Amino acid sequence: MLKELNQVMDYIEEHLTEDLTLEEIANFAGASDYHLRTVFFHLSGITLSEYIKNRRLAEANRALLKGHSVTEVAYRYGYQSLDGFTRAFKKWSGFLPSEIAKTQHSKFFPKLSFKITVTGGISMEYKIVEQPEFYLAGVSQRVPMQFEGVNQAIVQLAQSITPEQRAEMHALQNLEPKQIVNASYNADAAFLKEEGQLTHLIGVLTTDGSPSQLLEKVKVPASTWAVFPNEGPFPLTMQETHANIYAQWLPSSDYELIDVPGFSFTQMNEDKPGYAYSEVWTPVKKKD
């Protein structure tokens, strides 16, 4: 996958002045749009759309320094109006594009390249599980994206679960892993801006799709899952496992992500406070 990502970076550079779409880039990479956007975001910390915008504005800055007119540069890098380009450039650089030739102000945003730096043997235990169609049954709400520390919005969601809701979850639970799970989905907003949100559900896996007055039910199609067990300080170890799935396992595996809710569960260690056993269930498919 790293080779393909670097080829994507080259492809973007060659087409910066054209009307690039994420679907076109994904087709070039031979991966799904969802897989490419998700892996790129987790590896780079920036969305693919934001990266392309920043690269275009950086090249626009260079062209303005060389004395090209603002109008010429704006249309070359895909802006439909001079006002739109001026607003975007001012927000990005802090300067009006008309000032660049005079002030020689330059803001740099380099082309990305990807590589794996081996700092120690990271051994990732995992198994591949085939699951039939099922439902996630639980309570959910939109929460902010957070990659480190305890997400207080999720804590509050867990605290809001009533005894009646817990009883119904227990009655419905009939599919492995028979645990209370945390599922995340509908995260597209998170890939449009850095402060994005996703939907978080706390619940159980069930084959019962009948309506419920107490719980939300989300249908999950029959899928393949890469399951990553981990044990250590909570939530650090599980969050590191999530990061290593994207940075280490996916780029070197024969699998790619699919747009299906992923989930995890955690069992706190009663003998070691702050320690837990967790499993991260990542929906995938074999690469074509």
Give the pLDDT confidence score for residue 119 in this predicted structure.
Answer: 45
How is domain 2-103 classified at the architecture level of CATH? Orthogonal Bundle (1.10)
Mean pLDDT of 42-53: 85
Q: Record the tokens describing residue 81, joined without a space.
A: 């109006």
User: How far is residue 179's CA from residue 162's CA, in Å, rounded to a whole number?
Assistant: 17
CA 82 to chain centre: 33
- Average of pLDDT values for 96-117? 81
Is the pTM value of this prediction over 0.85?
A: no
- pLDDT of 148 reads 66
For the cut 90, the answer to whether the pLDDT of residue 288 exceeds it is no
Name the range with the highest mean pLDDT among 4-8, 38-42, 276-280: 276-280
Structure tokens at 163: 């005894």
Can you tell me the distance from the alpha carbon of 92 to that of 107, in angstroms, rounded to the nearest whole number?
A: 9
Q: Regarding predicted confidence, which is higher, 193 or 258?
A: 258
The residue with greater pLDDT, 11 or 186, is 11
Question: Please, which pLDDT band fits residue 45 given cuts at 50, 70 and 90?
Answer: confident
- 3-class secondary-structure state, position 190: helix
The C-alpha atoms of residue 276 and residue 263 are separated, in whole angstroms, by 16
Domain ranges of the chain: 2-103, 127-286
The string of pLDDT tens digits covering residues 108-158 is 888 887 765 544 445 678 899 999 999 999 999 988 776 667 778 888 999
Considering the four listed CATH numbers 3.90.1150.10, 3.40.50.450, 3.20.80.10, 3.30.360.10, the one that applies to the domain covering 127-286 is 3.20.80.10
Residue 185's pLDDT band (boundaries 50, 70, 90)? confident
pLDDT, one tens digit per residue, over 232-281 is 998 888 888 888 888 788 877 889 999 999 999 999 988 888 899 999 99
pLDDT at 285: 93
